[in-house]
Chain A
Amino acid sequence: QSALTQPASVSGSPGQSITISCTGTSSDVGGYNYVSWYQQHPGKAPKLMIYDVANRPSGVSNRFSGSKSGNTASLTISGLQAEDEADYYCSSYTSSDTWVFGGGTKLTVL
């Protein structure tokens, strides 16, 4: 069960848009529309931002959006704000009836 592949870091200026990729296999990301994304600020618990590839929980800003193509899912944050600076993790359900997380991406708002 290998971790999903994410870039270690991404950065952007306030107001810009950034995209974080999450690459898996046909046994996880590519095989199911069960990709979720979590935001984690330092010392805090993860927070669900996107579920089932592209759905936002109630209360999450519409600046956050998700998509998927083949074995790669993506999280896009538009209108970047200072408060978006955090670590982001993707997760997928797998064909083994288990879950796998990505290695995490540190977002820096310049």
Chain B
Amino acid sequence: QITLKESGPTLVTPTQTLTLTCSFSGFSLNTGGVGVGWIRQPPGKALEWLALIYWNDDERYRPSLKSRLAITKDPSKNQVVLTMTNMDPVDTATYYCSHIPPGFCSPSTCYTPYYFDYWGQGSLVTVSS
């Protein structure tokens, strides 16, 4: 059974750096094709994809936030960490981490999933002075 859980501060002040940890179980980030992503949702607004890291350290970032984001993984601890610098009140949101399942190969082709099948419960982060 796959589970993910986000942890981190509930309140940060403007200009601070946010560090969020995603602790997971039921899968390994050493497994080929597996990925863990971060998605946020401001109160009353839509989901917004932020970043993703694959088992092979391949990192992807939302272009508009790339300069402020960093995603790292520690497979031995079953954790993925997201840092976001220079926090602003507009960054107030619930932050979710999520799982991308591994792909597979048949004799003729390989399949790579591009969807998030398991999500954490979310962590509300408020940015305010």
Contacts and interface: CB of A to CB of B under 8 A. Distances in A.
Specify whether A and B are partners. yes
What range describes how many residues of A lie at the interface? 20 to 34
B121 A93 contact: no
Interface in A67-110: 89, 91, 93, 96-104
A2 B117 CA distance: 23
B119 A45 contact: yes
A45 B61 CA distance: 21
Contacts of B114: 32, 34, 36, 52, 93, 99
A34 B45 CA distance: 23
A45 B121 CA distance: 5
Nearest to A57: B117
Contact of A45 (B63, B96, B115): B96
Interface of B: 37, 39, 45-49, 52, 60-64, 96, 113-117, 119-122
